[in-house]
Chain A
Amino acid sequence: MTILESIPRALAILLVAAQLACGAPGSEPAPAEGPGSDSPSASLQGTPGGRLVAALRAEPGTLNPVLAADRPAQTLRYLTHSDLIHINRETQLTEPALAESWSVSEDGTLYTLRLRRGVFFSDGEPFDADDVVFTFEVYLDPEVASPNRSLLIVHGEPVRLEKIDAHTVTLRLAGPYAAGERLFDSIAMLPEHLLAAPYAGGTLSDEWKISTPSDRFAGLGPFQPSVYRSGESLTLKRNPHYWRRDSQGRQLPYLDELVLRFAPSEDAEAIRFQSGEIDILSDISAGNFVALAASATSAELSLRDLGPGLAYNFLFFNLNELAGDDLPAVAARQEWFRQLEFRRAVSEVVDRDAITRLVYQGLARPLGGPVPEGNRLWRNTALEAPARSVESARARLRAAGFTLGADGTLRDPRGAPVRFSIVTNSSNRQRVEIAAIVQEDLRALGIEVQVVPIGFQSLVQRLLETHDYDACILGLGGGDVDPNSESTVWLSSGSRHLWAPAQESPVTSWEATVDELMTRQLTEIDAAARKRQYDQVQQILAEQLPLVYLVSPNVLAGAHRDLGNFRPTILEPSALWNVHELFWTPSRKKP
């Protein structure tokens, strides 16, 4: 580990040190609030005005929503733009946004959307169907190469959008698509009056850079960019034409200004949050959350533990068909990895409770399947995390012909010692710690494991190109709750089918079954039938263990206690999803 890679850890230690130094002897840590209820809370009537300072992990790459590839830019897209149909981050269901209503044809291929009237961009120009048509044209244009383009390719064909009148559009799909409504969520409506000319001139990608003056920008979101300070912050000001109003008919958002301060790491964010330089924070690590809850300033903070989110960590083995004489040592070890009983033994011996306790300070949930508890709509609730049993794991290995040597080393049926390495990305310290725990757990079976933390790019290359690895600890999730968001992981032809990507035809029968079920649920319009199909997929994936599911970390967020309507969610952008209704209570009004 380089000294620069050790900085985040050093900052984390500092935060704990600050907590120890600040906490008054004998004082009780302020209790952090536990996971909230499933039902959405009613919004409070807010008071207009004030400035909120939020943290952003890095500078956003662009203000252009079409090109937003990094997470900060996607957060910015959420804050400065609006979509037609929106996924409510609290209910996880779709709700009307710029389309006030819509209908779907019986065959599920034609969506008719009626647009809200009297909606204006932040520069005062009206929004209508021409903007919608223009937006989809831009997103689908291969020359523009939007990262969101793939969302709009359904059954291998681009969606087709047509204007019916100034306030009605239709969207046609090549076939029925179960998650059709959710397609619209991240497609930000663009102002044709500003972007048509650069688009026609082939310079759209040069528009709306991070330093673009605010008078050349227009959006339909609650805020619009105002002042950018390189390396420091981006100030957003209230959009006076924002289309949402509160229940009393008052124009939203309540806040005048939203300042996004760039911090180089999660630990730096936490330190600035603790010292009051940042008002609201999401994605807090478990260690920092515990430190913040115990700090002297915790009384000023409202810390929320939302329970497990959508992200989850897992261990998987290299099951690729290695060509020819490539990587003979890995190919030899694959004989163990391909045995279901071997994978089950590994799954049974891993101490998920220890991972939860030691890596996540108890702020995570052990997993028994690929869908974490945070996904309320789609999780197969019958799948529980397996209880740790060294005896049962040993019995499985014995049944598979493995023996324990006199030196305590597990040996395969040919007498070779069972040794392999686990790679993971060095930039994620939780994964490195999990790998160390797994290493210790496997020692109980006589398996010797080497942990190899490497750079992320190097890891991607090994997983997807060279296949030069034995096993890997990785994480997924954090996007949408819909099953289709991870279909490229579960389909055997998918390029993210991590253990053996991009298969020409399914290698195993269970992968063929998963393919069939995933394809069927993709077009299943009946929600209950779709749920049954996806439950089956989860059941198969839990039994066959292509991934050894480990834990799902809790989503942790915090804000100043006087911030009204602070109701973070597990979906991104967790703490800022309802930024339009956040407000400062009279007890503390920001300048």
Chain B
Amino acid sequence: MRFLSRRALHGLVLLFGVSLLTFVLAELAPGDYLSRLRLDPTVSDETIELMNERLGLDRSAAARYFYWLRSVARLELGYSYQSGEPVAGRVGAAARNTLWLSGVATLLAWAVALPLGLWLAERRGRTEVALASGATSLLLAVPDVLLALALLLLAVRTGWFPTGGMVSLGFAELGWSARLLDLIHHAALPVTALVLTIVPTLVRHVQAAFGDVLDSAFLRAVRGAGIPRRRRLLRYALPAAANPLISLFGLSIASLLSAALLIEVVMSWPGIGPLMIAAVHSQDIYVVLAVVLASTVLLLFGNLTADLALYALDPRIRREGE
């Protein structure tokens, strides 16, 4: 419990620091939300001044930041200059979509990486390991954007997959199973892009972690005792290799989130990526703050999950926590 409260406190301090830094950086950037109108010949300076007052842009930066902190306390996360609505609803919906995409991609990536990494660790020095190493190197070298574009090209070329969006237009009229299929159909390409982005790193780490364990004296003793392979790997090797993999799990969530931002923009997935780009371009500053905050919360959540798992599995960490 003490461990949890300490982590929660760290998280709060981090969130405050991130929000303050983001706000300061946004303030330092030239121009503001009304810059676009300042070049519009049909909008007078007087009108722009009135809009400036209505949006509260005439107040000092400190006043606006404290206003935003108060709205965070009300769980509104400020107002969008563009829509006039509390930001929380829109960012919440976008973060949910990003979480959905990243969550599925994380599960799939680990489902592929764990057995593949283990299989490769057992076959050190063989041809298939060299081939797999080449393939992962190639995937690591391909930029995420290129990967996403290649998949988009596949969608345009074949018509098998939608080229954007999360659901079809008639989604509301579908039954639950058809809805699920529709979601999967739309998520297939972005999820594939994300999985291909993260799998090479995971495979290499899993392979290395199991490689160390399989070489260890205790596992050679286990093998010598005649314990069957399956039991040897699951009962003895997996727990021994778990620590670095659990830490990697937390890091993989961070990598997936940053990759998702890019892939969402390319594949028109309605997550926090496109929302953030639009907000940054228009300098809708409270939306930017909320999106950054939402991303930080998702990162903290990933790391906390990994820490809790380590805490539960490793008595040494439990003792440190006490």
Contact = CB atoms under 8 A, between A and B. Distances in A.
Interface in A213-244: 227, 229-233, 235
A485 to B, nearest CB: 6
Contact of B37 (A67, A69, A206, A480): A69
B1 interface: no
Given A149-B47, A479-B42, A209 B83 contact: yes
A4 interface: yes
A263 B169 contact: no
B145 interface: yes
B195 interface: no
Interface stretch (A9-17, A37-45, A99-107, A335-343): A9-17
A488 B39 CA distance: 10
A210 B83 contact: yes
A205 B84 contact: yes
Q: Give the interface centre of A13, A51, A209, A275 by most chain B CB atoms within 10 Å.
A: A275
Given A14-B152, A14-B156, A457 B164 contact: no
B157 A457 contact: no
B156 A145 contact: no
Contacts of A505: none
Given A263-B268, A272-B164, A4 B83 contact: no
A211 B42 contact: no
A53 B170 CA distance: 12
Interface residues of B, number: 62
A217 to B, nearest CB: 15
Contact of B54 (A53, A145, A488): A145
B237 to A, nearest CB: 39
B317 interface: no
Contacts of A489: 41
Please report whether the interface of chain A is mostly helix, strand, loop or mixed according to DSSP. mixed
Contacts of A274: 156
Given A18-B153, A277-B163, A591-B170, A427 B265 contact: no
A387 interface: no
Nearest to B268: A268
A62 B84 contact: yes
A495 interface: yes
Nearest to B269: A231
A271 B31 contact: no
B88 to A, nearest CB: 12
A10 B266 contact: yes
A456 B35 contact: yes
B277 A264 contact: yes
Contacts of A458: 29-31
9 closest A-B pairs by beta carbon, nearest first, are: A457-B31, A231-B270, A145-B50, A150-B44, A61-B82, A458-B30, A18-B156, A457-B35, A145-B54
5 contacts: A3-B262, A10-B146, A21-B157, A153-B46, A277-B164
Given A205-B54, A227-B172, 6 more contacts: A4-B277, A10-B266, A147-B47, A264-B265, A268-B163, A272-B163
